Amino acid sequence: MKINSTVFFALILTKIAVANPPKNIVSDGLFERVEIGIIQRDKETWHILRGRECRDCDANISLWLVKHIHLGTPEEFTSIKMAFPGEYKDYETKKPINRSRAFWGACLDNNPSTIIWVGESFNNGKSSQFTEYLVSTKSKPFVKPKMPSLSKTDIKKLETKKTCKEITGIDQLSEP
């Protein structure tokens, strides 16, 4: 099974209307929700959430950035869906496809609102390293800029930087 890391980490932007959701659901279909943290961007609040889009299904748990949640009142907000960090294995062969870690917060010196993935993808017995960035800018809430890959030394700096937090990964099988 071939998975291109660029496709694997593609962002999905959606608009969702919410009206009086139960506590275990934050939108029309975000179940098993766990809040990981909050990124404050100017006057916007973005919640970093862990969850899946269906109850009792084989959909993977994803990482979500959700702007401006007001539970209990009708509200339209923007959400961004991303792959959750951890190890993904092919659901048939159980061979690793991708292994990643993610960090959030003020991970880059010039930007307090960042999420960074580092890891490796496996294709036909070969592995390749990757770094993916999701950065807040003045004009756009979150974009994927072209930036250099992080070295092992850079990753060690992320691990020890007090303003940068690691998201604990989970192991999952690829979706059928």
Range of the domain at 129: 85-173
> What's the confidence (pLDDT) of residue 2?
31
Tokens of 25: 């659901």
Q: Is there a single domain that holds both residue 92 and residue 110?
A: yes
More confident residue, 171 or 132: 171
pLDDT in tens, 75-125: 445 678 888 999 999 999 999 999 999 999 888 877 778 888 899 998 887
Q: Is there a single domain that holds both residue 97 and residue 51?
A: no
Domain final residue, candidates 83, 113, 147: 83
Q: Is there a single domain that holds both residue 78 and residue 105?
A: no
Give the mean pLDDT of 135-147.
71
Q: Contact, 119 vs 130, CB < 8 A?
A: yes
Q: Is there a single domain that holds both residue 129 and residue 51?
A: no
pTM, entire model = 0.74
Neighbours of 123 (CB within 10 A): 14
In this structure, what is the dihedral angle of CA atoms 93, 98, 103, 107, given to the nearest 10 degrees?
180
- With respect to residue 1, please indicate whether it lies within any of the assigned structural domains: no
Q: Is there a single domain that holds both residue 97 and residue 163?
A: yes
Report whether pLDDT(154) > 80: yes
Give which of 138, 135, 97, 134 is closest to 119, Cα–Cα.
97
Domain final residue, candidates 32, 55, 83: 83
Q: Is there a single domain that holds both residue 59 and residue 72?
A: yes
> How many domains are there within the chain?
2
- With respect to residue 2, please indicate whether it lies within any of the assigned structural domains: no
